[in-house]
Amino acid sequence: MNTSLQLIPDQASTTAARTDALFLFILAVSVFFTLLIAGLVIYFSLRYRRKSPDERPKPILGSLKLELAWTFLPLALVMIMFSWGAIIFFSNSRPPADAMEIYVIGKQWMWKFQHPEGPREINTLHVPVNRPVKLLMTSEDVIHDLFIPAFRIKHDVVPGRMLTQWFTATKVGEYHLFCSQYCGMQHANMNGKVIVMEEADYQKWLTGAETGSSAADAGEKLFLKYGCALCHSSRAPTMAGLFASTVKLADGSTVKADESYLRQSILQPRAQVVAGYSADLMPSFAGQLSEEQIMQLLAYIKSQKEVAATSQAANNSQKEGDSPSQAVSNSQKEGDSPSQAVSNSQKEGDSPSQAVSNSQKEGASPSQSVVKSQKEVASPSPAVSKSQKEVAATSPAATGNESP
Amino acid sequence: MSKVIDYASALPPLPAPDYLHDGTGLRSWLLTVDHKRIAVLYMISLTFFFMVGGIAALLIRLQLLSPNSTLMEAETYNRMFTTHGVIMVFFFLVPSIPAVIGNFIVPLQVGARDMAFPRINLLSWYLYVIGGLITLYAIISGGVDTGWTFYTPYSSLYANSKVVPTVIGIFISGFSSILTGLNFVVTIHTMRAPGLTWGRLPLMLWSLYATSIIFILGTPVIAITLALVGVERVFHLGIFDPKMGGDPVLFQHLFWFYSHPAVYIMILPSMGVVSDIIACFSRKRIFGYGFVAASSIAIAVLSFLVWGHHMFVAGESVYSAMIFSFLSFFVAIPSAIKVFNWTATLYRGSISFETPMLYALGFIGLFTMGGLTGLMLATLAVDVHVHDTYFIIAHFHYIMVGGAVMGYLGAIHYWWPKITGKMYPDIWGRVSAFIIFIGFNLTFFPQFILGYLGMPRRYYTYPEEFQMLNVFSTAGASILGVGYLMPLVYLLWSLKYGKPAGPNPWGATTLEWKVSSPPPKHNFASIPLVTEEAYDYTKEPTNAA
């Protein structure tokens, strides 16, 4: 980050330069008209200043030609602005299909990020350069807004809804990340940074960070824990291949099984019932699952493409073996990546209460030493996890998908 | 512009008391139904609220002087910017020109003896004061920290501050707006003097008429919306809270359905003021009168179709965002038409530069910049970046302070001789106009850059690289503060020491200048007959009653 006076922020995403070009175009038009008006006002004021008190200038009624000119010329100019802006906006609203998905939860007053491969972070987001990243965002309490000036993107994070935005970072570096929708007392401290890394460094960071389970794995555990699997195998629709498919509903309409449909089906199961199934079968899980858990369930459901049941089971048992260490290692990630520690301590100066709640919630510091040793234990068998990871990295959507 | 059948002046001069001296004592003021006295009551109460909001603004700027200022805690700062926003928007800007200048000028300019509903006019002042006092109580007894936008579910569930009394205060004062708008519409429709056709109306009246449409159609929506926030907060009915099946974004739709048109409530009256002033001080009829008048109505109508441009990143669909962006650009056109016509009015005029004219010319410059930066916000991709940053703050202050407050001060300086019968020292007026223009630009121009660099609004602490521009801005704010205090001093001074103004010190043509200053209680001894257009500056003006 540059500390000298800048006029334009860093351009660090594919859309940054496009947005700036459009901005500069409108700026040029604006400067032209401001100078035109100011110039005319000053020129007329000097040229036609009152020289004697009894001057009676001839009235001028107006000119239809001029009126039409300064109606339609500006109209043409603003229509260019509209179209140009709409084109960029429209393309920015369509994330590429292969975008890496990161779950984002906003809560008073912190940002939680969950990477597809497992690592979770608070207020710091590590992303690889030149890879499209799609943020799936929701809020646990009030409306927040995730704003990354260097990427020229921003979107509200609304409770009860899953909204998305995406970017492809183009420049390695550290950039501000702000909450830009007023959300209460520590709104000004609900910020952090985005760290854009070379792909290799990102992979290295993942390795260093990764001992935890992926979102999909965590979701799978919830799926078992809450007994979803009991029905969603026979009496209720199965999850295999459900995501992004078209579902026929009891009322005859169809709906695409996207994140918001799945989310709603968990929280309000009777709203859109699948054709051929009882509406009374499924209870609502509203109030039982946190936003984070819902996201993990969604990640699990999304990972369930047409999977062969046998390999799935094998995969499960293998994963289960890791689980005792997971809770501990997760907490490590959330509290303790070196950069995080810095930003946390900064914050502690400002609001002791927040820092306390952070550490309480994530249980960061006390487990640190445990985690260290855990990691050393984990290291002798990197081959297995590495190979898994490589599969995951190339196709993040297929995290839980076991290749035969 | 008109032949006034003025029997009073034909007779030997009777010492008929003017409205200021017709009855003295508190009672004669608090129970008055004279539109001019009600205007003065409004002027005093608005000046008070402007000072409250101004002090809050000054404290905000002091806090932002350094990135980790310890002047205020987060909680205090959040209450401070909410106080600033709520007071300035609902208790100063919205009523400003309509309630003070409009109340005074509308009956005089239409050639009537009072408003259509004088008692309702007084009621509207009481509603304003009661609403204001309740809001002040909320601010003093604990404060509000939601921002003037009251976004849910923060305001309805999470905020730990006096949200309910504040929205009750705004709710009540909303009726003041509605009644004022109603009074203007009926007065302008039914009480125009004979011969004063729509095509001869001063542009001030066209603007106030357009403003009144928004008052009547928009204000009930904000009143209901804020009432719903109160209902959800007190009775826990699920309206905006998603946990109870509500929709937090619904609030934003309802809120901006009023609050975008409210921007035009603030700016349209200023446009009317500027039209009157520019015609007077360049001794020319307004170039393209019909286009300027029609553009006021066009702005009022279009203002109701663009609220979605506040929500491009709030989760509305891509397609509705595109439609709102498209429509928003159309509001730019009538505004541009006005600016071009005012500029063209100066062409071959006879221009003099008394204080009101300096404010009007300053208005043109600042409004042009505010309007053009509005284009950047209507543009989807650019708005995504600058939304909720200091760019927005800068933009709407250029419109609301650079536009509306410059217009208000221009109007005060233009009609002060009529209201009080006294002249203020013009040199001090010019100096203050100049200081305000400089201070304003120094305060708000750096905020455009801050915003584009990404500094979010409503931050009591900020990254260090933003400091330099914030220091500029705070320096400008202190200059601006001095500029605003000066008129307070010399205008009050003029009440006692100012030279008598005479009925028409500026040589203006509209009807209010045909009566003495200050006007007699019932304005016109006989209703004038209008035979000419509003701005006929071809004849010799007189400054004699």
pLDDT digits (tens, 9 = 90+) for B35-88: 999 999 999 999 999 999 999 999 999 999 999 999 999 999 999 999 999 999
Q: Alpha carbon of A260 to those of A272, A273, A385: distances in Å?
A: 12, 14, 32
Torsion of Cα atoms, B308 then A71 then B268 then B341, to 10°: 160
Rounded distance between C-alpha atoms, residue A119 and residue B541, angstroms: 81
Tens-place pLDDT, residues B269-317: 999 999 999 999 999 999 999 999 999 999 999 999 999 999 999 988 9
CB atoms inside a 10 Å sphere around CB A41:
19
DSSP A178: E
Q: Residue range B144-149: average pLDDT?
A: 95
How long is chain A?
404
Q: Alpha carbon of B138 to those of A187, B90, B119, B239: distances in Å?
A: 22, 14, 29, 24
- Residue A198, pLDDT above cutoff 90: yes
Report chain A's terminal Cα–Cα distance, integer Å.
46
Q: Which residues pair with B177 in a beta bridge?
A: none
DSSP B537: T
Across the interface, whether the CB atoms of B288 and A67 are under 8 A apart is answered yes
Residue A401, helix vs strand vs coil: coil
Residue A396: CA count within 13 A, CB half-sphere: 20
Q: Residue range A74-100: average pLDDT?
A: 94
Q: Which among B492, B476, B393 is positioned nearest to B435, based on CA atoms? A: B476
Which of these ranges, A115-124, A309-318, B119-128, B339-348, has the smallest mean pLDDT?
A309-318
Q: pLDDT band at A279, cuts 50/70/90? A: confident
Give the per-residue pLDDT at A233: 74
Rounded distance between C-alpha atoms, residue B436 and residue B438, angstroms: 6
Task: List the alpha helices (DSSP H) in B17-113.
Answer: 26-30, 35-63, 74-88, 103-110
Q: pLDDT band at B347, cuts 50/70/90? A: very high
Q: Residues of B numbered 134-163 whose beta carbons fall under 8 angstroms of chain A's beta carbons: which are they?
A: 145-147, 149, 151-154, 157-159
User: Which stretch, A115-119, A305-309, B378-382, has highest mean pLDDT?
Assistant: B378-382
Give the per-residue pLDDT at A53: 86
Tens-place pLDDT, residues A357-378: 333 333 333 333 333 333 333 3
Q: Alpha carbon of B327 to those of A25, B211, B307: distances in Å?
A: 20, 20, 10
C-alpha R_g of chain B: 23
Q: DSSP characters for A4-68?
A: S--SS----BHHHHHHHHHHHHHHHHHHHHHHHHHHHHHHHHHHTB--STT--PPP----HHHHH
- Closest-CA distance, B432 to chain A, in angstroms, reads 19
* % of chain B residues with pLDDT over 70: 96
Find the CB nearest B349 among A6, A57, A66.
Answer: A57
Residues in A closer than 8 angstroms to B368, CB to CB, are 33-34, 37-38
Across the interface, whether the CB atoms of B249 and A26 are under 8 A apart is answered no
Residues whose CB is less than 8 angstroms from the CB of residue A91 and which lie 6 or more positions away in sequence, other chains included = none
Q: Alpha carbon of A269 to those of A277, A281, A282: distances in Å?
A: 11, 9, 6
Q: Residue range B342-367: average pLDDT?
A: 96
Across the interface, whether the CB atoms of B283 and A57 are under 8 A apart is answered yes
Tens-place pLDDT, residues B384-412: 999 999 999 999 999 999 999 999 999 99
- Residue A403, pLDDT above cutoff 80: no
- Residue B541, pLDDT above cutoff 90: no
Give the per-residue pLDDT at A118: 77
Residue A229: CA count within 13 A, CB half-sphere: 10
Q: Residue range B129-140: average pLDDT?
A: 96
- Closest-CA distance, A47 to chain B, in angstroms, reads 8
Rounded distance between C-alpha atoms, residue B330 and residue B300, angstroms: 12
Find the CB nearest A81 among B154, B291, B329.
Answer: B329
Q: Which residues pair with A193 in a beta bridge?
A: A124, A176
Residues in A closer than 8 angstroms to B381, CB to CB, are 15, 18-19, 22, 84-86, 88-89, 92, 152
What pairing do the DSSP bridges indicate for beta strands A100-107 and A132-139? Answer: parallel
Mean pLDDT rounded to a whole number for chain B:
93
ipTM for the predicted complex: 0.92
Q: Residues of B numbered 501-530 whose beta carbons fall under 8 angstroms of chain A's beta carbons: which are they?
A: none
Find the CB nearest B339 among A37, A45, A108.
Answer: A37
Give the per-residue pLDDT at B297: 95
Find the CB nearest B461 among A67, A181, A350.
Answer: A350
Residue B40: CA count within 13 A, CB half-sphere: 15
Q: Residue range A229-254: average pLDDT?
A: 80
**B541 in A contact zone (CB under 8 Å):** no
Give the per-residue pLDDT at B24: 85
Find the CB nearest A85 among B154, B344, B381.
Answer: B381
* Burial class of residue A380 (count of CB atoms within 10 Å of its CB; 0-12, 13-18, 19+): exposed
Q: Cα A263 to chain center, whole Å?
A: 17
* A&B contacts, CB < 8 Å: 299
**HEC readout, A117-149:** CCCEEECEEEEECCCEEEEEEEECCCCEEEEEH
CB A184 within 8 A of CB A142: yes
Task: List the alpha helices (DSSP H) in B191-288.
Answer: 203-235, 248-282
Give the per-residue pLDDT at A271: 80
> pTM for the full model?
0.82
Among B77, B148, B154, the residue to mutate for chain A (most A Cβ within 10 A): B154
Q: pLDDT band at B10, cuts 50/70/90? A: low
Residues whose CB is less than 8 angstroms from the CB of residue B125 and which lie 6 or more positions away in sequence, other chains included = B38, B41, B42, B45, B99, B176
**B49 in A contact zone (CB under 8 Å):** no
Give the per-residue pLDDT at A393: 38
**B374 in A contact zone (CB under 8 Å):** no
Instruction: State residue A188 phi and psi, 5-degree precision.
Output: -70, -15
- Closest-CA distance, B79 to chain A, in angstroms, reads 10
Residue B58, helix vs strand vs coil: helix
- Closest-CA distance, B284 to chain A, in angstroms, reads 6
Tens-place pLDDT, residues A391-401: 333 333 333 33
- Residue A104, pLDDT above cutoff 90: yes
Across the interface, whether the CB atoms of B282 and A57 are under 8 A apart is answered yes
Q: pLDDT band at B474, cuts 50/70/90? A: very high
**B285 in A contact zone (CB under 8 Å):** yes
Give the per-residue pLDDT at A395: 38
- Residue B487, pLDDT above cutoff 90: yes
**B388 in A contact zone (CB under 8 Å):** yes
Residue B161: CA count within 13 A, CB half-sphere: 27
